A and B are shown apart, each in its own frame.
Chain A
Amino acid sequence: MLFVQQLRGELRKLFARPRTWMGYGAFFLMEALILFVYKLEGSQRHMRDLLERNGLEFGTYYSSLTITFTIMLVSMFLLGSIYFALVAGDIVAKENEDGNLRMVFARPVSRLRLLLVKYTAVSLYTFSFVFFVGLSGYLMALLAVGRDGGLFVMEPRMKVFAAYPEWWQGASRLALAAAGIGVSMLTLSSLAFMFSCFKIKPAAATIITLTILFVDMILQGFPFFKPYETCFVTWRMSAWVFLMESHLSWPKLIESYAFLIGLDISLFTVGWAAFQTRDFKT
């Protein structure tokens, strides 16, 4: 019960800061931009060609669900990662820099508990943000192209191709994918959180996290590393796309999510070890 009270306080703090809302605003703008592009005649022609080449009907798959999938595919990793790294990189380091942690440390609370509260808050922020992007993207697409239609999925890099003609089938897969993206993005948040636990400036925690992720992504694209692509964190983070396959491959999904969850636990443990042994002094 006390943990819930502490978590509520942490969330109140998190959502009282304008920085936290920056990401929501940025995604609104980007969703509007993607919708605008989708409504362009040239874009619709390209989509029509793509669908008809694959033997699918444009009227069924040019839909709010397909647009929502595109928004999540395109935006989450590139733009979302910045906000997750910013929020998670700040959560401990910024409070230390501002001196707030001293006030908390004057309380009978263990460092582990404090970190658990903060990590839970970061996790909730990560999941809520992913679902916000999915939901707001869908609502905007709904206004633009209407409710009817199925879901068309094509992700060449992960070799995923699927089509769901029924709305409910597509919608349920998108909801499942949002949960998968949440777990993937949690790894990014965990990385930033770990750095935040070190004696480091908040901006440094964010920048180091993004650097590691982008280097991982760039290296993964090298032909030399193709046989080892599953060893890259960003490849594992893209595993959520497998949730869109017509026939779910559970071994593949379990392997990737076990990898990510194991990594999250390791990152938290390293962060906690650094935090536990540090001196906090003005």
Chain B
Amino acid sequence: MLEARALCKSFGGKPALDHFSFTVHRGEIYGLLGHNGAGKSTTLGIILGMVMPDGGDVTIDGVSVRAHRSQALRKVGAIFEAPAFYDYLSGWDNLRLLMGYSGGFDPAAARDTIAQVGLTQRIHSKVRTYSHGMRQRLALAQALLPEPAVLLLDEPTDGLDPEGIKWFRDFILQLRRDRGMTVLFNSHLLAEVELMCDRVAILRDGKRVFEGAVGGLHDDALLFDVALDPWDRALGLLHACGGELVAPGRIRLPHGADPAALVESLVRGGIRVSALAPVRRSLEDLYMEIHHGATAPN
């Protein structure tokens, strides 16, 4: 549905993106992670045609953004962190104005969408009187009005209270369920990305350093927390099986190793095995590993 191929972009000679490629499949929620300046917003800027790439291209449903921007963006909605509306106009007028650039304003459709995002009571108030949460709801309404097939979310939950974050997350997940919407989610909030996304890519200095399914992160089949006694003899047996100690109480087994066989070997060797549990890694663990340790395999 959304494909970025070898995106390159430099600002003042400093590379912001270096041959970054990814694909978001139809109905998938794809997360973009990275530190400030990693290239996430530049990627979104290129997708929307706001930033001209030095190389590479983005296609949306097969249509090139570089060659046919208007056609490519016809079915795209976008939400930015701190969306900048025209504060001196009402929410309704903002929607009417923005929809003027998306093929026309349909008041009936607008009323439905406004009701969906829960803004009916305040839609005719000036945007300057809106709270941050209400602005994000209005942002959601303007993104949904053109009935997009692809939704681009750039730090959409920043600054929202926990209740607002949960509402937003549930709303997006429901959109995917009901409409099969494709979502590109760019955020610093690792827990949110973990809860929402099917796959993630991690960027560092404009390069992709990881891409994988969020579900697959949780169980690392090779990493275990163990409680063994005595340790010195246990380590000898562990090394004999090809395993290694990676941290106090944490071991890694080689590819293809059977943990049951290791336990059997340890017990036969007179080692007391009081615990052996696979390590459940969070996205945060992975992110920290990548940013403070070695690059994870793609």
Kindly provide the distance from the CB of A105 to the nearest chain B CB, expressed in whole angstroms: 5
- From B41, B74, B104, give the contact of A282 (CB < 8 A): B41
Q: Please tell me if the beta carbons of A281 and B80 are within 8 angstroms of each other in the complex.
A: no
Beta-carbon contacts under 8 Å, B188-243 to A: none
A109 within 8 A of B: yes
Closest residue on chain A to residue B142 by CB atoms:
A103
Closest A residue to B50 by beta carbon equals A280
Provide the residues of chain A in CB contact with B72, threshold 8 Å: 108
Is B104 a contact of A5 with CB atoms below 8 Å? Answer: yes
Contact in complex: A104, B89 (CB < 8 Å): no
Per-residue A-contact encoding for B1-38, CB less than 8 Å = 1, 0 else = 00000000001000000000000000000000000000
Question: Within 8 Å CB of A8, what residues of B?
Answer: 100
The distance in angstroms between the C-alpha atoms of A21 and B143, with both chains bound, is: 32
Does residue A45 face the partner (Cβ distance < 8 Å to B)? no
For window 65-111 of B, CB contacts with A under 8 Å fall at 69-74, 76-78, 80, 82-86, 88-89, 93, 96-98, 100-105
> Within the assembled complex, what's the spacing in Å between the Cα atoms of A107 and B76?
8
CB pair A9 B73 closer than 8 Å:
no
CB-defined contacts of B77 to chain A, threshold 8 Å: 106
Bound together, the chains give a CA A281 to CA B49 distance in angstroms of 11
Interface residues of B in 33-77 (CB under 8 A from A): 41-42, 45, 48-52, 69-74, 76-77
Q: How far is the CA of A108 from the CA of B49 in the complex (A)?
A: 10
**A98 contacts across to B, CB distance below 8 A:** 84
Q: How large is the interface on A (under 10, 10 to 19, 20 to 34, 35 or more residues)?
A: 20 to 34
Q: Are B48 and A105 in contact (CB under 8 A)?
A: yes
A108 with B103: CB separation less than 8 A: yes
Interchain CB contact under 8 A, A9 and B97: yes
Q: Are B101 and A13 in contact (CB under 8 A)?
A: no
Contact B78 A110 (CB under 8 A): no
Q: Is the CB of B41 within 8 A of A279?
A: no
CB within 8 Å of B: which A82-129 residues: 98-100, 102-110, 114
User: What is the minimal beta-carbon distance from A115 to any residue of chain B, in angstroms?
Assistant: 13
A106 touching B97 in the complex, CB below 8 Å, given contacts A280-B51, A281-B45: no
Interface residues on B, range: 35 or more
Number of residue pairs spanning A and B whose beta carbons lie under 8 angstroms apart = 91
Instruction: Indicate whether A105 sits within 8 Å of B70 (C-beta atoms), given known contacts A12-B93, A16-B88, A98-B84.
Output: no
Residue among A17, A18, A281 making CB contact with B50, cutoff 8 Å: A281
Contact A108 B50 (CB under 8 A): no
| Measured CA separation A165–B104 after assembly (Å) | 52
Partner of B51, one of A9, A12, A100, A281: A281
Determine if A108 and B70 form an interchain contact, defined as CB atoms under 8 angstroms apart.
yes
Known: A5-B104, A13-B89, A282-B41. A105 touches B97 (CB 8 A): no
B contact residues around A103 at 8 Å (CB): 80, 83-85, 98, 142
Given contacts A6-B100, A281-B45, contact A106 B78 (CB under 8 A): yes
Closest to A279 in B: B51
A277 interface contact, C-beta 8 A: yes
- Nearest to A17 among chain B residues (CB) is B88
Among residues 190 to 215 in chain A, which have CB atoms less than 8 Å away from a CB atom of chain B?
Answer: none
Q: Judging by beta carbons under 8 Å apart, are A99 and B82 in contact?
A: yes
How many Å lie between the Cα of A221 and that of B105 in the bound state? 53
Q: Is the CB of B73 within 8 A of A107?
A: yes
Q: Are A106 and B88 in contact (CB under 8 A)?
A: no
Contact of A108 with B45 in the complex, beta carbons under 8 Å? no
Contact B97 A107 (CB under 8 A): no
Bound complex: CA A237 to CA B72 (Å): 44
Q: A99-B82, A102-B80 given as contacts; is B89 within 8 A of A16 (CB)?
A: yes
Q: Which residues of B contact A (CB under 8 A)?
A: 11, 41-42, 45, 48-52, 69-74, 76-78, 80, 82-86, 88-89, 93, 96-98, 100-105, 142-143, 146, 152
Q: List 24 A-B contacts (CB under 8 A).
A: A2-B100, A5-B104, A6-B101, A9-B96, A16-B93, A98-B84, A100-B84, A100-B86, A103-B83, A103-B84, A104-B98, A104-B101, A105-B48, A107-B73, A107-B98, A108-B70, A108-B101, A114-B101, A279-B11, A279-B51, A279-B52, A281-B42, A281-B51, A282-B80
Instruction: Please give 5 more A-B residue pairs, beta carbons under 8 A apart, in addition to A16-B86, A104-B101, A281-B42.
Output: A102-B84, A106-B143, A108-B71, A110-B70, A280-B50
On A, residues with C-beta under 8 Å from B are 2, 5-6, 8-9, 12-13, 16-18, 98-100, 102-110, 114, 277, 279-282
